[in-house]
């Protein structure tokens, strides 16, 4: 029934009044799970008025008291992990074990921001005049409009909500229409923990209508978007036109560099795990596997064999290692990438065809070898279960090729040489580098990209800074 009252506005769960509704589907079967009511302009006006009032209440609540409320929300999220995980799997498709990790880590993100919000220190500047005090305060920037995608319905949304609330901002979040139920339960935990009316508002709608309406509003002072590069570019331009601060976490096309001196077994195990997690629908997913000539054949054989053995099926089944894609258009996108790469001369080492007879939005774990640079999958983000294998000889060459794309989110590398690791960390053009292990996306570490992958960070102290504005106060006694 929550799909009928999915909007949280001014503390009330409400039906959307838009004439249009969105069908929510189980990606493992393609069957409709229900119809989602969407927000129209009247609903958005109410949300804006609520966020304006909510901000006045929340910014005057001490960081100490805000942290107590957020801490309770974190506890509730941990208690509700299994319920929330089941909703993620049902609507988004990932295996239950992955959904549990996503749901369980939500509490950690909230705890981190709650604590960090209590340390939003300003600073004291030595004055030029005796008796003067010159202080930099850090104030919440104001009501936030946040747009989060379907690939991690809880993981993406929780960072925006927790960051904004810890800083003292109110927020209007537009959740993903494909995967609403776990977002609704996430917001319910914040409400149950005592977040006041109007401080957290949740909308679903026609995405372009909602973003255009909210970003133009005088109420909104900050925009945060996670999604594709073209949409991010459009929302960033609109935010700039209205002089709104903006954080953009967009796509990636991550290089995964395996050098001749690497631990190849470890690189294969981590590479396959990362590549096919969430069926490759991860912005930081490795997509271009650059393997040095001395270990290329061994790596590609072992990687392909391991990928071929992954069990694909419904995320709810206990033995499933890779679930369906989130919607039908991702399956079409995968088929088109593979056909294009084959016609450009790439060979398919495993996977590569639609999975017939399963129902739902399935595409198998796929490995393409010897992919020429002009194939489309080498330029456009695959955002699905396709790994491309590419041979290289020298460090200069691999750095040039890894940096050749306009993307710059994550990069991975395997080497036993400290000097190679340092050179890669220094010269890869990206926001995050992880060497010989997976070390990204913890609450306490910044997550974000450069170039077309966007700007700003979520996570770490940088994630809180995104919602804070410095105010300089200079005073002297008369
Ligand atoms: P899409 O570009 O249609 O949508 C991407 C996301 O943006 C969705 O959540 C969608 O609801 C939202 N969106 C679309 N138009 C919008 C608008 N005008 N205003 C506000 N939000 C809007 O693509 P898709 O088919 O849903 O997803 C595939 C692509 O999206 C991938 O190629 C990938 O690059 C990107 N994506 C990235 C992330 C990420 O974590 N960075 C997450 C999901 C999707």
State yes or no: is 430 an active-site residue: no
Listed in sequence order, the residues at least 6 apart from 419 whose beta carbon sits closer than 8 Å to its beta carbon are: none
Whether residue 358 is predicted with pLDDT greater than 90 in this model: the reply is: no
CA distance 276 to 165: 33
Whether residue 54 is predicted with pLDDT greater than 80 in this model: the reply is: yes
Report the pLDDT averaged over residues 384-407: 98
pLDDT band at 128; cut points 50, 70, 90: very high
CA distance 220 to 244: 8
DSSP state of 404: S
Whether residue 431 is predicted with pLDDT greater than 60 in this model: the reply is: yes
Report the pLDDT averaged over residues 411-434: 98
Q: What number does the ligand 1 atom closest to the CA of 230 have?
A: 2
pLDDT band at 478; cut points 50, 70, 90: confident
Report the pLDDT averaged over residues 428-454: 97
Whether residue 306 is predicted with pLDDT greater than 90 in this model: the reply is: yes
- Residue 202, strand partner residues: 8, 173
Report the pLDDT averaged over residues 27-47: 97
DSSP string, 6-64: -EEETTEEE----S-EEEEE-TTT--EEEEEE---HHHHHHHHHHHHHHHHHHHTS-HH
For domain 2-250+453-475, give the fold: Aldehyde Dehydrogenase; Chain A, domain 1 (3.40.605)
CA distance 364 to 310: 9
DSSP state of 142: -
Whether residue 1 is predicted with pLDDT greater than 60 in this model: the reply is: no
User: What residue ranges do the domains of the chain occupy?
Assistant: 2-250+453-475, 254-445
Q: What are phi and psi of 262, to 5 degrees?
A: -75, 160
Q: What number does the ligand 1 atom closest to the CA of 235 have?
A: 19
The CATH number of 254-445, from 3.30.70.20, 3.40.309.10, 3.40.50.2000, 3.40.50.720, is 3.40.309.10
Q: What are phi and psi of 218, to 5 degrees?
A: -65, -25
CA distance 233 to 341: 27
Closest Cα to atom 10 of ligand 1: 149
The residue ranges of DSSP E strands in 323-379, in sequence order, are 347-350, 366-369
Dihedral angle computed from the Cα positions of residues 454, 455, 459 and 463, in that order, rounded to the nearest 10 degrees: -150
pLDDT band at 268; cut points 50, 70, 90: very high
Report the pLDDT averaged over residues 182-204: 98
Active-site pick, 98, 116, 249, 458? 249
CB atoms within 10 A of CB 133: 12
Whether residue 22 is predicted with pLDDT greater than 90 in this model: the reply is: yes
Q: Is 387 left (phi over 0), alpha (psi -120 to 50) or beta?
A: beta
Closest Cα to atom 20 of ligand 1: 207
State yes or no: is 249 an active-site residue: yes
* Residue ranges lining ligand 1, Cβ < 6 Å: 147, 149-151, 176, 207-208, 211, 226-228, 231, 235, 249-251, 283, 329, 381, 383
List, for residues 216-230, the tens digit of each pLDDT value: 999 999 999 999 999
Cα of 149 vs centre of ligand 1, distance in Å, is: 6
The pLDDT score that the predictor gives to residue 2 is 74
Cα of 454 vs centre of ligand 1, distance in Å, is: 13
CA distance 471 to 474: 10
Listed in sequence order, the residues at least 6 apart from 48 whose beta carbon sits closer than 8 Å to its beta carbon are: 143, 172, 214, 217, 219, 220
How high is the mean pLDDT of the chain? Answer: 97
DSSP three-state, residue 25: strand
Share of the chain above pLDDT 70, in %: 99
Whether residue 400 is predicted with pLDDT greater than 70 in this model: the reply is: yes
pLDDT band at 355; cut points 50, 70, 90: confident
Cα of 329 vs centre of ligand 1, distance in Å, is: 12
The pLDDT score that the predictor gives to residue 172 is 99
């Amino acid at each position: 029934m929550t799909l009928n009252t999915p909007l949280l506005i001014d503390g009330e769960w409400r039906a959307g009044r838009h004439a249009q509704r969105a069908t929510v589907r189980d990606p493992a079967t393609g069957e409709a799970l229900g119809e989602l009511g969407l927000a129209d302009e009247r609903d958005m006006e109410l949300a804006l008025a609520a966020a304006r009032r909510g901000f006045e209440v929340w910014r005057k609540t001490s960081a100490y008291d805000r942290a107590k409320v957020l801490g309770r929300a974190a506890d509730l999220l941990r208690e509700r992990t299994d319920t929330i995980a089941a909703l993620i799997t049902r609507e988004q498709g990932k295996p239950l074990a992955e959904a549990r990790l996503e749901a369980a880590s939500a509490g950690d993100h909230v705890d981190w921001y709650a604590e960090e919000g209590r340390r939003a220190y300003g600073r004291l500047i030595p004055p030029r005049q005796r008796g003067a005090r010159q202080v930099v305060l850090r104030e919440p920037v104001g009501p936030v409009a946040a747009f989060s995608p379907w690939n991690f319905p809880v993981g993406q949304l929780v960072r925006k909500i927790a960051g904004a609330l810890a800083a003292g901002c109110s927020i209007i979040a537009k959740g993903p229409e494909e995967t609403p139920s776990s977002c609704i339960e996430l917001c319910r935990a914040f409400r149950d923990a005592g977040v006041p009316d109007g401080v957290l508002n949740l909308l679903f709608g026609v995405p372009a209508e909602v973003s255009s309406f909210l970003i133009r509003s005088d109420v909104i002072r900050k925009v945060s978007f996670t999604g594709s590069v073209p949409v991010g570019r459009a929302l960033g331009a609109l935010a700039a036109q209205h002089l709104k601060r903006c954080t953009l976490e967009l796509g990636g096309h991550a290089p995964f560099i395996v050098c001749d001196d690497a631990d190849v077994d470890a690189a294969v195990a981590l590479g396959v795990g990362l590549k096919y997690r969430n069926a490759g629908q991860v912005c930081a997913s490795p997509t271009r596997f650059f393997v040095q000539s001395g270990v290329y054949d061994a790596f590609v054989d072992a990687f392909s064999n391991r990928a071929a053995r992954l069990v694909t099926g419904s995320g709810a089944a206990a033995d499933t290692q890779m679930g369906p894609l989130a919607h039908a258009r991702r399956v079409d996108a995968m088929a088109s990438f593979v056909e294009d790469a084959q016609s450009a001369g790439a060979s398919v080492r495993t996977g590569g065809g639609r999975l017939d007879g399963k129902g739902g939005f399935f595409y198998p774990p796929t490995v393409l070898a010897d992919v020429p640079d002009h194939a489309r999958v080498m330029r456009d983000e695959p955002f699905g279960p396709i790994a491309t294998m590419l041979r290289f000889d020298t460090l200069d060459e691999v750095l040039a090729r890894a940096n050749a794309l306009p993307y710059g989110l994550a990069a991975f590398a395997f080497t036993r040489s400290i000097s190679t690791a340092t050179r890669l960390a220094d010269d890869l053009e990206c926001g995050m580098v992880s060497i010989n292990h997976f070390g990204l996306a913890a609450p306490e570490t910044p997550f974000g990209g450069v170039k077309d992958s966007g700007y700003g960070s979520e996570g770490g102290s940088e994630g809180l800074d995104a919602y804070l504005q410095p105010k300089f106060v200079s005073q002297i006694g008369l």
